[in-house]
Amino acid sequence: MAEGMKSQPVRLYVRAKFVGFKGSKVNQYHHTSILRLEDVNSKEETEFYLGKRAAFIYKAKTLKNGSNFRVIWGKVVRAHGTNGAVRAKFRSNLPAKAMGANVRVMLYPSRV
């Protein structure tokens, strides 16, 4: 790079919204979350994100390991419907108060 030029920061994740849990008339599936990926609008586009890691990051009051932030990790497991939503399973279930919150879908591990 030329002297004095600034490089753009690289974002290794795609923004997503946690929109709810998988539902049914007879069962509650609180172990499967539905994420709405930004700029993904079809079932075919979700194929790339299957197997990617998802991170729900939240802030807590207590300082632990020098940080007030916590992370619940999960994995994108399959598409949900035809409009670009995906299902994800997290190590511990996401809290219901997190609905509408941001989730980061990392661009790793790569299957390419």
CB-based burial of residue 9 (10 Å sphere; 0-12 exposed, 13-18 middle, 19+ buried)?
exposed
In a domain? residue 1: no
In a domain? residue 82: yes
Residue 3 pLDDT: 67
Domain that holds residue 96: 18-106
In a domain? residue 94: yes
* Tens-digit pLDDT profile for residues 42-90: 999 999 999 999 999 999 999 999 999 999 999 999 999 999 999 999 9
Number of domains in the chain: 1
In a domain? residue 7: no
User: 3-state class of 105 per DSSP?
Assistant: strand
| 110 has a pLDDT exceeding 80 | yes
Are the CB atoms for 32 and 89 separated by under 8 Å? Answer: yes
In a domain? residue 10: no
Using pLDDT thresholds of 50, 70 and 90, give the confidence band for residue 4.
Answer: low
In a domain? residue 61: yes
Which residue in this structure is represented by tokens 């998802």? Answer: 54
In a domain? residue 27: yes
Neighbours of 48 (CB within 10 A): 16
In a domain? residue 8: no
Whether residue 95 is preceded by a cis peptide bond, meaning omega within 30 degrees of 0, is: no
Token duo for residue 70:
């916590």
Residue 7 pLDDT: 87
CATH value at residue 81: 2.40.10.190
